[in-house]
Amino acid sequence: MLTIRKKDDIIIPFIKQTGEEGWQAKTRIILEAIAEKWNSELPQPKAEEETVRLEAELQTSLPSSLKIFYQEFGVADIGETLQEWDDIKWLAGFWAAIPQLGPDLTEADQSVCPYLVTFGGCVNDSGIWCFHAETKEIYYFDYDERPHITKLYDSFDDYLKNCLILAQSELFANPATKKDVLRWGKEILEDMLSQS
């Protein structure tokens, strides 16, 4: 099992994007360690036919890196909850039948909401992760905050890398603590951001 005792033990799954040499092996080590920590197994990868079917239902394409991840690792635990295949929907569709129960969207929220497709979190959580159907940027919808919609990442790759690095904080071992590993992960991400 992967255990983090010092900053150098943290695995960086890839530098820029999925598809880089070695990204699958590094990502698998992280995902298997997370699954082992929570006594679960890695899910089955999604077949390309399933991706084609989902994109046809949505009438938009998934971000290419999200497709690559799903086809390699399925709906794996990345430290954030990825939605099951059938739960991926257009964000605006959640309130279409009952708009009076929907959130009070700001003008900026309203301008982007029709383009957002959910992929992470669930309606019972405080928020939902979405990708923009045209730009493939990653947004977070927060039920409790206004504005409700915030762009947080330029790509699914950025989101995934952040999740996989920070998820390793659960894999700490003496003398490191969870707080140490989380701090180291944030330092690594800040360093990578400053170099891009």
Confidence bin at 4 (pLDDT 50/70/90) = very high
Per DSSP, the chain holds a count of helices (H) and strands (E) of 6, 4
List pLDDT tens digits, range 146-188. Answer: 999 999 999 999 999 999 999 999 999 999 999 999 999 999 9
Query: Where exactly are the structural domains of the chain?
Result: 7-195
Give the separation between CA 107 and CA 100, rounded to whole angstroms: 17
8-state DSSP, 98:
-
The more confident residue out of 100 and 78 is 78
List pLDDT tens digits, range 19-42. Answer: 899 999 999 999 999 999 999 999
Q: Which two tokens stand for residue 43?
A: 């899910």
For the domain bounded by 7-195, which CATH number is listed?
3.40.1580.10
Confidence bin at 193 (pLDDT 50/70/90) = confident
Q: So what's the pLDDT on residue 12?
A: 97
Segment (H or E) for 27: helix 23-37
Give the separation between CA 191 and CA 15, rounded to whole angstroms: 11
